[in-house]
Amino acid sequence: MPIHDRSLLILSASEVKRALPMWEAVDVMKAAFRELSEGEAIVPPRTHVALPESKGDVLFMPAYSTPEGRFGLKVITLFENNRLIGLPFIQALIMVFDTRTGSPISVMDGTSLTAIRSGAASGAATDLLACRGATRVAIFGAGTQARTQLEAVCAVRTIRSACVFDMDPELAAKFAREAGEELDIPVSVARTSAQALDGAEIVCCATTSAIPVFADSELATGTHINAIGSYKPHMREIPPETVVRAYVVVDQVEAAWSEAGDLILPLRDKLIRKSHIRAELGQIVSGKKPVRTKPGQVTFFKSVGIAIQDLAAATRVLVNADKLGLGTRVKM
């Protein structure tokens, strides 16, 4: 019986970013969502462990891709107090295994990969749902997730300007300065949600707010919304009035009704029915569901984050890391 060379490739945050540029990540997410909607991926419900004494949550997210022959597991932590001590709110590790042998292939930084794939998911939704001529973006939230949201939108549309709104003006100012320099577009800071939405054709929400971050009356006709921040049934970033009138697309129907407060709360209040979700993004990718049902309709992509996104992104990272000679290999 042959003895296999068992080794593990370890990839840092900087190596993950180098191996997965945003334009490529957007295409990877389209393929992952199509795979999910067509039943080619096995994605069990994620396991949630709450640590109330630390104001933290731990999520365990497994996924199996039959086309790729890979199994992956992401362990992600979300600790509210980390911002006060200079640590990221979100931290994660991703492990990839070979399904033929069960051998671990790689461990990589999941914090950077989560930000990239979350941004890329919104980039994919924006590419499919937003008006082709959209040039202005409103960003709610000024953290790491918000940055990749803007980066992804800029990868699929010719964005001329952006405006950021955050409850922390200093954080918003830092975001505007750094994102503007990185993406080479003017990024301004809004004092109010209405100011942020003025002229915006695309809206990205990446906050941990439990209440809507803007008023429905402030939203223009035909706007496309991406919302990735709320991940619990009692949290929501989007006003219920907006949800009621929007064409709603989700990453996965089952996960949305389990975790997306933006949809669960209007359903609880009998403002919508479960049929209000019109499509999964993978069905839009494959052309099985329409982009919208009438001109000028507000489109709303709600993502709670699906483990197949992490596995698809990690698989592409491994391919590119091999080409670029990235990572540190450790004998098992």
Task: Give the tens place of pLDDT for each residue, 80-123.
Answer: 899 889 898 889 999 999 888 899 999 999 999 999 999 999 99
SS3 content of the chain, % helix, strand, coil (to 5): 40, 25, 35
Share of the chain above pLDDT 70, in %: 98
Say yes or no to pLDDT of 301 above 70. Answer: yes
Q: Select from 2.40.30.20, 3.40.50.300, 3.30.565.10, 3.40.50.720 the CATH code of 131-305.
A: 3.40.50.720
Examine the pLDDT at 1 and tell me if it is beyond 60.
no
Residue 89 exposed, middle or buried by CB count within 10 Å (0-12, 13-18, 19+): middle
pLDDT at 66: 86
Convert the pLDDT of each residue in 8-58 to its tens digit.
999 999 999 999 999 999 999 999 999 999 999 999 988 999 999 999 999
Measured from the Cβ of residue 66, the count of other Cβ atoms closer than 10 Å reads: 12
For residues 22 and 151, is the Cβ–Cβ distance under 8 A?
A: yes
Instruction: Output the pLDDT for position 4.
Output: 62
Query: Which residues share a beta bridge with 50?
Result: 57
Q: How far apart are CA 185 and CA 162, in angstroms?
A: 8
Q: What is the tens place of the pLDDT at every residue in 120-158?
A: 999 999 999 999 999 999 999 999 899 999 999 999 999
User: What's the angle, vertex CA 146, arms to CA 142 and CA 152, rounded to 5?
Assistant: 145
Give 192's contacts (C-beta < 8 A, 6+ positions apart). 165
- DSSP 8-state code for residue 45: P
Rg (CA), the chain: 19
* Single pTM value for the model: 0.92
Pair of tokens at residue 179: 């994102």
**pLDDT for 236 beyond 60:** yes
Model confidence pLDDT, tens digit, residues 256-270: 999 999 999 999 999
Same fold, 7-113+308-331 and 131-305: no
Instruction: Tell me what the pLDDT averaged over the chain comes to.
Output: 95
Question: Is 7-113+308-331 a domain of CATH 3.30.1780.10?
Answer: yes
| Opening angle at CA 246, ends 200 and 202, nearest 5 | 20
CB 196 within 8 A of CB 133: no
Q: Where are the domains of the chain?
A: 7-113+308-331, 131-305
- Cα dihedral 148, 192, 295, 37 in deg (nearest 10): 30
- Which has more confidence, 131 or 230? 131
Reported confidence tier of residue 2, pLDDT bands at 50, 70, 90: very low
